[in-house]
C-alpha cells in the first residue's frame, strides 16, 4: 500500500526520494508510531496506526521544505480518501447554536430594510447577547444562531454583522469569530495561460532595466589564458539586475477564489526578481505580517521592523482583493482576527510613505470594484494606483513602477 502512496507523492511533483521513503519504512518498523497509540482507529488508516500519527511521521520523513507542505497535504488527502481533517479550536460559543438547518432568502426590498448597526453598537450588542442567550437559535433577527437577519452567527443575511463560525456568503462581515488556517502561495506553480506568459515577459523587461552588463568570469579567464596572460575582460548582458521588490500578499478568506492566478504571478516574480522580499497579511495590513502561514501567530514580523529594514529603493507591490468591511481599514480594533490598536489606514499610510514607488494589484474583476466600498477606500489610500490582475493591468503597474 505504501508503495502506491510513494508514487502518489511523486505524481504530485513532490521531490521525494527512495532514501526518504526507506527512512519512513524503517521508522514504521521501529515503532515510532504504532498500534499501541491511544485513540480510535479508522478504516482508512494503515493497519494498527492512527492516521494523524502516520501523517506527521510521513511528512517529517518525506518533506524537507515547508513550501511543499501544501502539495503533500493535497496528495495525502487524495490517497487516503475519506479521512477528515481534525482541528482543536476553543470556542466560547456553543457549537450547537450554530448548526445550520435552513437557508434564508430575502427579497432586495427586505434586505434594504434591515438596519445597519454602527461599530460601537454592534460590539456592545454582541456582549449583551452573550449575557442573555441560554440556548441555540435558528432564524429571527436578534439571537446568535443560524439563518435569519441577526447580525450575529452565520447562514443568514445582515449588511454588517459578526460572523461566528460557518463560511462567508455575502462578504459583509465586520468581524469573524473563528480560527482559520491559511496556506502559503506555491512559488513553483507553472504559468499555464498565454496571457500570464506575456505578463512574465513584461516582468522580465522590468527586471532587466538597470546595469546592462556584468563580468563573464569564465570567458575572461579563458580569453586571458589564450592571450598569453594579458587581461582580456569579457562582459555579458546581466540576467538579473538590482531592482528590489517588496511584495505584500493578502491570503485567506475571499482571496481563496484567486489562489491560482496569484500563485502564477508569485512564481513569475520569484523567477525574475533577484531581490524579492515577500510577506503575508489578511485583508488589511496592521502592526505585523508573516512569511509562513502555518506559523503566522508564532513567527510575526512587526510592520515597523519591515519599514526600517528595507530602504526606499524597494518597489512596494500589494496583491489583494481589498474586499472587506470598511471598519477593517478605518477602525482601531477592526481586524477580523484580533483587536488591533491602530487602524489599517495608519499602516497603509506609513508603508506608502516609506516606499514612494508603490502599487496595488487586485485580482477581483474590475467591473465589481465600484460595488465594494472597501475597494473604493483602498483606491483612495493608494492614490488610485490600483490595477487589475490582467495583462494590461500588469503592464500599467510595471510602467508606473519604472517611472
Burial of 160 (0-12, 13-18, 19+ CB in 10 A): buried
Q: Name the nearest CA neighbour of 158 among 116, 203, 218, 103.
A: 116
Write out the DSSP string of 334-356: --SSS--SS-HHHHHHHHHHH-S
Share of the chain above pLDDT 90, in %: 23
170 pLDDT higher than 70: no
| pLDDT, average across residues 59-80 | 83
Pick from 204, 182, 330, 207: which is nearest to 262 by CA?
Answer: 182
Q: 182: closest CA among 124, 90, 263, 251? A: 251
Q: What are residue 278's DSSP bridge partners? A: 247
- Indicate the fold that domain 194-401 takes in CATH: Rossmann fold (3.40.50)
Average pLDDT over residues 147-169: 53
DSSP, collapsed to helix, strand or coil, labels residue 360 as: strand
What's the pLDDT band for 261 if we cut at 50, 70, 90?
A: confident
Burial 174-202 (b: 16+ CB within 10 A, else e): bbbbbeeebebbbeebebeeeebeebbeb
What average pLDDT is seen over the chain? 74
- Closest by CA position to 325, among listed 162, 179, 181: 162
Asked if residues 335 and 328 have their Cβ atoms less than 8 Å apart, the reply is yes
Q: What percent of the chain has pLDDT over 70?
A: 61
Report pLDDT for 150. 57
Check pLDDT > 90 for residue 348. Answer: yes
pTM of this prediction? 0.53
Residue 375: pLDDT band with limits 50, 70, 90 = very high
Rounded CA-CA distance 381/205 in Å is 28
**pLDDT at position 359, please?**
96
Q: What is the pLDDT of residues 234-247, one digit of tens each?
A: 877 655 456 789 99
Q: In angstroms, rounded to a whole number, what is the distance separating the alpha carbons of residues 178 and 353? A: 33
The x, y and z cell numbers of residue 297, run together, are 501567530
What pLDDT sits at residue 224? 85
- Quote the CA–CA distance of 305 and 303 in Å, as a whole number: 5
Place of cell 514612494: 356
Query: Model confidence at 83, in pLDDT bands (50, 70, 90)?
Result: very low
Q: Given this model, what pLDDT does residue 86 score?
A: 35
Amino acid at each position: 500500500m505504501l508503495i502506491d502512496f510513494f508514487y502518489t507523492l511523486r505524481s504530485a511533483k513532490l521531490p521525494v526520494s527512495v532514501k526518504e521513503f526507506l527512512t519512513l519504512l524503517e521508522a514504521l518498523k521501529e515503532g515510532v508510531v504504532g498500534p499501541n497509540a491511544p485513540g480510535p482507529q479508522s478504516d482508512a488508516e494503515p493497519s494498527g496506526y492512527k492516521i494523524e500519527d502516520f501523517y506527521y511521521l510521513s511528512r517529517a520523513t518525506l518533506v524537507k521544505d515547508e513550501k511543499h507542505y501544501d502539495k503533500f497535504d493535497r496528495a495525502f488527502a487524495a490517497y487516503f480518501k475519506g479521512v477528515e481533517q481534525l482541528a482543536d479550536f476553543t470556542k466560547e460559543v456553543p457549537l450547537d447554536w450554530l448548526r445550520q438547518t435552513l437557508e434564508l432568502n430575502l427579497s432586495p426590498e427586505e434586505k434594504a430594510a434591515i438596519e445597519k448597526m454602527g461599530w460601537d453598537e454592534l460590539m456592545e450588542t454582541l456582549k449583551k447577547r452573550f449575557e442573555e442567550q441560554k440556548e441555540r437559535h435558528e432564524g429571527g433577527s436578534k439571537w446568535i444562531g443560524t439563518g435569519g437577519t441577526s447580525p450575529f452567527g452565520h447562514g443568514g443575511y445582515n449588511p454588517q454583522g459578526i460572523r461566528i463560525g460557518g463560511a462567508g456568503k455575502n462578504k459583509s462581515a465586520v468581524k469573524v469569530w473563528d480560527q482559520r488556517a491559511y496556506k502559503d502561495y506555491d512559488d513553483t506553480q507553472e504559468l499555464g495561460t498565454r496571457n500570464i506568459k506575456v505578463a512574465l515577459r513584461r516582468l522580465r523587461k522590468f527586471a532587466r532595466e538597470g546595469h546592462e552588463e556584468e563580468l563573464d568570469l569564465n570567458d575572461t579567464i579563458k580569453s586571458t589564458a589564450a592571450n598569453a596572460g594579458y587581461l582580456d575582460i569579457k562582459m555579458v548582458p546581466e540576467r538579473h539586475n538590482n531592482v528590489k521588490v517588496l511584495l505584500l500578499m493578502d491570503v485567506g478568506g475571499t482571496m481563496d477564489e484567486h489562489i491560482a492566478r496569484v500563485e502564477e504571478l508569485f512564481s513569475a516574480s520569484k523567477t525574475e526578481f533577484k531581490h524579492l522580499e515577500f510577506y503575508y497579511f489578511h485583508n488589511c495590513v496592521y502592526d505585523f505580517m508573516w512569511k509562513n502561514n502555518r506559523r503566522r501567530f508564532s513567527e510575526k514580523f512587526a510592520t515597523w521592523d519591515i519599514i526600517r529594514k528595507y530602504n526606499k529603493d524597494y518597489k512596494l507591490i500589494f496583491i489583494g482583493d481589498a474586499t472587506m468591511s470598511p471598519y477593517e481599514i478605518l477602525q482601531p480594533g477592526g481586524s477580523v482576527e484580533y483587536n488591533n490598536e491602530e487602524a489599517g489606514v495608519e499602516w497603509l499610510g506609513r508603508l506608502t510613505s516609506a516606499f514612494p514607488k508603490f502599487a496595488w494589484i487586485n485580482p477581483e474583476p474590475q467591473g465589481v470594484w465600484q460595488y465594494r466600498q472597501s475597494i473604493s477606500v483602498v483606491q483612495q489610500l493608494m492614490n488610485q494606483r490600483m490595477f487589475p490582475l490582467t495583462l494590461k493591468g500588469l503592464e500599467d503597474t510595471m510602467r508606473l513602477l519604472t517611472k
